[in-house]
A and B are shown apart, each in its own frame.
Chain A
């Protein structure tokens, strides 16, 4: 091995250290410059952010190179890949473990900071400087965490001849895409956080601030939405149980910022449109990012024992907890110091108005977030206090989460219909009565079509129909006074997406069926009207595993539907065989088959499942994300900052009515 190659990982480490220094510079100079009105210091923020991205991309490249060239003298490479792993997975393995995930996390963080420098050219210089300053301080914290507790470039000397392996569960396209999307969302909320702190520090917590924050928050939310869905989708087809949501603490960790981020999007809308509830919006922006950090702590410290938690090193937990405390404590201190200057100057509004409905929704979403947090953290807290060990799982969340979130879902239907400032109950009732009647009828009738009526299914279907029908009503009303902004269509897509998602969840849970049978060649089994015939197993070689694959011929009413090939894989580097489910996805149902153990050379355990409307879950998520993108790309966010007008929140109530967010 030549010396040049020997040095490369050290260059990566050097780049990380340089990024850390740049983050400190970015965190200190622009903030100080904004405080003293020093333009030169303020302008340092942009260059520091750009330099930081350069360093981090370089470090990321170095680590990728180490994986590509199988440099097992790097401990992280040796722990997460081996010589037999195909190149594509060796590259994906860069973020397959703790250290590399954090490096990816930081690259993405840095991307967001650079995006702020690019898209905020029209913002006042001191605002940009403060935003970048806050982001620099947070980045410095994460980079310190990376460098001092989770260095991806640590050496393993002497180098082993071969590495261990990337967890076979992660050798999959879903798992390759899931982390980058999730991190884009998680980390993206730092922008809203930084904008909130910058606005607090400068004392300009006005409608302009809300307008600047909105597209950033929405884009981060879109990524988090997709990231969560990708994880869910992966669990669905890879874990082999056919479940797609387990209330696993790691899932909850990214679900909490999503819930709160949803609240933040709506609260920013009120603040921008009506200039009210700024304190609440600021607190939400701070808490949403705080929940991102809490999630990071839960997942990255190893305090959880779950299918996801691969990390275990107490130093990491303590560092993250201290970091979380400093960030949350610090931002709350800024809030306490500055918030007396926030005066409620927006127009007043009645007890029943779009404002009050959106805020009720906010309270419910915040309570839902608190509920998930309670269920996630409670067992840890109880254990830490020595008060016993409990487990909190699906039965708990089923009992507790639905009652909290259902009223919020119901309000999706009322909020967009109600007028700003003051809504009249009789007027609302008139405009909503048809939607109400229609959704009630659909909810009551549809379960009969599935042959089995249940109150929970009727409730879910009615709720979905209600959201869809009321969204159409608001669309019809809005179309009467053109032009309709793109953001309004964004809302329509997102809300309809929610309805589609609820239909999927309700029908899958209500009507999924499964059978587990012993099959010999020629045997058949039926679920949901589909007949599966077992045509035996074959051996199929893979690049780094050997698979046993079954053939299942599926027919319905005698007509051929599809052929499924569920299999079991034995990876050469692992003991336990992995189940690979076979899925035939359709608009109204998924067929899901898994191959179990061999009971005799000719008899196999096979599980087949019929999952009605499962794809509606993914379709709903796609609509949600698409709606978010539409809203974020609304033209008005790209207009020059109308700073003059925005500085006068008094004018907010005077703006043309009917604009929508």
Chain B
């Protein structure tokens, strides 16, 4: 509402010659918004990696029309998506459903993080235990020598 007011004001300021507001491409913008929201979650079955919302293919236009029509008939979004899945299978869903064959897909990321962190923690704990390096006498001597030469250098 506030935006509309501002816009009207702007248009008035701009003067009458600035033209009239263009009609939305769709007859019912609200319906269109809902349609596109659903369409952008669905894969165009005949295209390459496009959503039904993006695609210019005839089938995609067709399916957009179907979504629009079903929404107009009062069907819910779940019902529309259900209808599409019944017709084209899970393939049409850009967000794959959670079921036995997609178990690894959905749980994999969490599993990766968990296993990675557990593995890291285990290694870190071991690292800490082994953190104290046991030097042989020879190594001690060499380290001492190196330290000495470094101190000398720094003094110089």
Contacts and interface: CB of A to CB of B under 8 A. Distances in A.
Decide if A and B are genuine partners.
Answer: yes
B20 interface: yes
Contact of A517 (B18, B22, B125): B22
Interface of B: 6-7, 10-11, 13-14, 18-26, 41, 43, 48-51, 54, 56, 89-96, 101-102, 104-106, 108-109, 112-113, 116-117, 119-120, 124-125, 127-128, 130-133, 135, 139, 142-143, 146-147, 150
Interface in A497-537: 515-520, 522-526, 529, 531, 533-534
B109 A400 contact: yes
Interface of A: 241, 246, 248-249, 276, 305-307, 309, 344-345, 347-351, 356, 359-360, 363-364, 366-367, 370-371, 374-375, 378, 382, 387-396, 399-401, 403-404, 515-520, 522-526, 529, 531, 533-534, 555, 557-558, 576, 596, 605-606, 648, 650-651, 654
A276 B105 contact: no
A402 to B, nearest CB: 10
A348 B128 contact: yes
A533 B19 contact: yes
Contacts of A348: 127-128, 130-133
A367 B22 contact: no
B120 A378 contact: no
Contacts of A248: 49
B125 A391 contact: no
B96 A391 contact: yes
A186 B147 CA distance: 43
A492 B134 CA distance: 37
Given A363-B113, A391-B94, A558-B13, 10 more contacts: A348-B130, A350-B128, A382-B101, A391-B93, A399-B95, A517-B24, A522-B20, A524-B20, A531-B14, A648-B146
A393 B112 contact: no
Given A307-B49, A650-B139, A558 B113 contact: no
A352 B146 CA distance: 29
A523 B132 CA distance: 77
Contact of B43 (A349, A367, A391, A650): A391
A249 B43 CA distance: 14
A249 B94 CA distance: 13
A306 B43 CA distance: 12
Contacts of B127: 276, 344, 348-349
Given A344-B127, A605-B25, A307 B48 contact: yes
B105 A351 contact: no
A654 B105 contact: no
Closest 6 CB pairs of A and B: A348-B131, A393-B94, A395-B95, A523-B22, A363-B116, A517-B22
Contacts of B112: 366-367, 370-371, 404
17 contacts: A241-B54, A248-B49, A305-B48, A306-B48, A351-B128, A363-B116, A374-B109, A382-B101, A388-B101, A390-B101, A390-B105, A393-B94, A395-B94, A523-B23, A531-B10, A531-B11, A648-B146
Nearest to B135: A650
Among B18, B92, B147, the one with the most A-chain Cβ atoms within 10 Å of its Cβ is B18
Contact of A345 (B6, B108, B133): B133
B10 to A, nearest CB: 6
A518 B22 contact: yes
Contacts of B6: 529
A557 B43 contact: no
B21 A525 contact: yes
A404 to B, nearest CB: 6
B19 A518 contact: no
Nearest to A577: B56
Contacts of A345: 133
A381 to B, nearest CB: 9
Contacts of B43: 391, 393
A285 to B, nearest CB: 18
A305 B91 CA distance: 13
Given A348-B132, A390-B96, A533-B19, A516 B25 contact: yes
Contacts of B49: 246, 248-249, 305-307, 393
A393 B51 CA distance: 9
Nearest to B49: A306
Contacts of B130: 344, 348
Contacts of A391: 43, 90-94, 96
Among A249, A519, A558, the one with the most B-chain Cβ atoms within 10 Å of its Cβ is A558
Given A307-B49, A367-B109, A516-B25, A524 B95 contact: no
A172 to B, nearest CB: 19
Nearest to B143: A650
Contacts of B25: 516-518, 596, 605
Contacts of A366: 112, 116
A356 B124 CA distance: 7
Contact of B96 (A396, A534, A650): A396
Among A364, A367, A399, A596, the one with the most B-chain Cβ atoms within 10 Å of its Cβ is A367
A367 B24 contact: no
A125 B132 CA distance: 35
A351 B20 CA distance: 67
B23 to A, nearest CB: 5
Contacts of B105: 374-375, 378, 390, 392, 396
